[in-house]
Amino acid sequence: MKSLRNLLLGAGILLLGSCNQAPVSAPAEPAPVDKAAIVLENIMTRASVRSFTAEPVSRETLQTIVRAGLQAPSAMNKQDWEVRVVDSQDKINAICDIMKKANPNAQDRFPDKNSFGNAAALIFIANEVSDQPGAFSAVDAALLAENIVLAAHAMDLGACIQAGPLRSMESAEAQAWLKSLGFSENYQPMLVIPIGHPDQEVTAGQRDASKAKFVE
Ligand SMILES: Cc1cc2nc3c(=O)[nH]c(=O)nc-3n(C[C@H](O)[C@H](O)[C@H](O)COP(=O)(O)O)c2cc1C
């Protein structure tokens, strides 16, 4: 008896539910996407982020960002770059300690954080060393780097292209650490990009518009 009551009650709820449902109609037209506005907004609002929260960034997200980097153009499509992603905090802290040991007087921008602002990951970019005329590996690697920081910004992450730290990695210990990244023999690490969830408010900086001119 109880089960029959439950059955009727259930049927009533179902009926009531179906009465409340809106009639099926054709799906609404999707709003047109203003691709240009989205891309330009992303470019114009990006700013370097150098301090990060402790929140990790998933490998899937890092993969997406690096893939966007690899989509950069390169001279004669040589893709004369290599990328290594370090997301082990132990490994990141190890290079920070090595850099500190080599430059004990260097001041960190964020004293309560490591030299990379506690980044969730470091993306190292190396370019091919070549004395061939027309070699543009440094330009190519820089374009890759820009794609990476723009992709990170589009995903609400922060990042900063950096060359300076690599100049502080000249000690034998630092060189051994860099070697562990496994770049090919003829490739040199040129840039490092700390990346993570921003722990600072940044706004896009002003640019000197007079640097670009139309020529009549
Ligand atoms: C090739 C290159 C090297 C850079 N090296 C460093 C660096 O060593 N340390 C750093 O904090 N920022 C570095 N930056 C970031 C610049 O300081 C930053 O892009 C510039 O001040 C403009 O600020 P914005 O990125 O917020 O627009 C570098 C940027 C580029 C393109």
Residues in the ligand 1 pocket, defined by CB under 6 Å = 47-48, 50, 160-164, 205
pLDDT of residue 8: 40
Q: How far is the CA of 40 from the centre of ligand 1 (A)?
A: 20
Range in 10-24, 56-70, 98-112, 124-138 the model is least confident about? 10-24
- Structure tokens that stand for 22 in this block: 């809106």
Cα torsion at 140, 142, 148, 149 (round to 10°)?
-160
Confidence of residue 15 (pLDDT cuts 50, 70, 90): very low
- Read off φ and ψ for residue 132, nearest 5 degrees: -65, 135
For 48-196, CATH gives: 3.40.109.10
Ligand 1 mutation pick, 127, 160, 168, 193, max ligand atoms within 8 A of CB: 160
Q: How far apart are CA 22 and CA 161, in angstroms?
A: 52
Query: Could you report the per-residue pLDDT of 98-146, keeping only the tens digit for each?
Result: 999 999 888 889 999 999 999 999 999 999 999 888 789 999 999 999 9
Q: Strand 158-159 to strand 121-128: parallel, antiparallel, or no bridges (unpaired)?
A: unpaired
pLDDT of residue 169: 94
Question: In whole numbers, what is the pLDDT of the chain averaged over residues?
Answer: 91
- Read off φ and ψ for residue 164, nearest 5 degrees: -50, -50
- Read off φ and ψ for residue 102, nearest 5 degrees: -75, -30
Enumerate the domain spans of the chain.
48-196
Looking at residues 79-89, what average pLDDT do you find? Answer: 98
Q: Which helix (H) or strand (E) holds 130?
A: none
pLDDT of residue 107: 86
* Residue nearest (by alpha carbon) to ligand 1 atom 14: 162
**Beta-carbon contacts of residue 55 (< 8 Å; ≥ 6 apart):** 120, 196, 197
pLDDT of residue 20: 63
**Beta-carbon contacts of residue 33 (< 8 Å; ≥ 6 apart):** none
Question: Among residues 180, 205, 182, 186, which one has the least CA distance to residue 94?
Answer: 180
Range in 47-56, 130-139, 205-214 the model is least confident about? 130-139
CA-CA distances (angstroms) from residue 44 to 48, 108, 159? 12, 28, 15
Structural contact between residues 178 and 122, judged by C-beta atoms closer than 8 angstroms: no
Structural contact between residues 120 and 55, judged by C-beta atoms closer than 8 angstroms: yes
Query: Could you report the per-residue pLDDT of 152-199, keeping only the tens digit for each?
Result: 999 999 999 999 999 999 999 999 999 999 999 999 999 999 999 999
Q: How far is the CA of 158 from the centre of ligand 1 (A)?
A: 13
